[in-house]
Amino acid sequence: MKALITTILALAALGANAARILWVGIDDQSLVHLSDQTLNIADWFSAAQTEHGCDPVDIGGRIRICDTVLLAGYSDPSGYIPPGQSAPTILFDPDITEFGLIVVDQYDEPTGAYADWQPIQLNSTADSDPEHLEIYFDIGYWDANSDWEFVPLATAVSWVDTIWSMHSYESGTLLPPGESPWRPVDFYAVPEPSTGMLLVIGMLLMTNRRKHARLE
């Protein structure tokens, strides 16, 4: 499930099937707002590794529109560079929806740089109704104790139409994209499941109470 993406030049996505490609990345000035403190992204990495007992390469991200997780592109494992391109073809696999947040070298060792120019394949829903859809950038880790399930810890949110022209482009063109990656400045902690459930239950109780109040 882990697709560790290195920095990718814009022309690398030309080999992908025609689709709307969103570029995403991590800004080294990003802040992660937790329930009790705010950490810069570097300190958050360290805290996440310590708390969850994972390696730097086990910290990852994903992009979703509402509850639909989008496909994350990765370089052709064969390393084949088609004529006229400067980097291997970018592939999209239905089983790969997350990407590493740390750039690694040829030996899978962290280089100290954050992932950037990560291609994400926007789906048809985004294309049909970009003005009314929220898009999320989740960051978290792959849990080695749960079959490498991705566990989101914090998220950033925007609107599809806000990032559309600035951070995405139509693949298959001959012109390199002039857009920049979407690099959120602020990530906010994902509520604990128990807390989220309590909020839902509370809202249902309030709704039920209002319904009864109207019937009386």
What is the pLDDT, as a whole number, of residue 112? 87
Confidence (pLDDT) at 186? 98
Q: What are phi and psi of 205, to 5 degrees?
A: -65, -40
Residue 172 pLDDT: 60
Q: Which domain holds residue 35?
A: 10-190
pLDDT confidence of residue 202: 47
Asked, for residue 108, whether it belongs to a domain, the answer is: yes
| Domain annotation covers residue 196 | no
- Residue 84 lies inside a defined structural domain of this protein: yes
206 part of a folded domain: no
Q: Tell me the whole-structure pTM to 2 decimals.
A: 0.77
Q: What pLDDT does 6 receive?
A: 37
Find the Cα–Cα–Cα–Cα dihedral 208, 190, 32, 90, rounded to 10°: -130
pLDDT, residue 214, reads: 40
Q: Is residue 152 within 8 Å of residue 177, measured between CB atoms?
A: no
Average pLDDT of each block of 10 consecutive residues along the chain (216 residues)? 39 52 95 96 96 94 95 86 77 94 87 92 80 93 95 96 89 64 96 52 45 38
Task: Name the domain count of the chain.
Answer: 1
pLDDT at 177: 60
Q: Residue 5 falls within a domain, yes or no?
A: no
Residue 9 and residue 82 in contact, taking contact as beta carbons nearer than 8 Å: no
> What would the two tokens of residue 55 be?
């390696």
- The answer to the question of residue 195 being in a domain is no
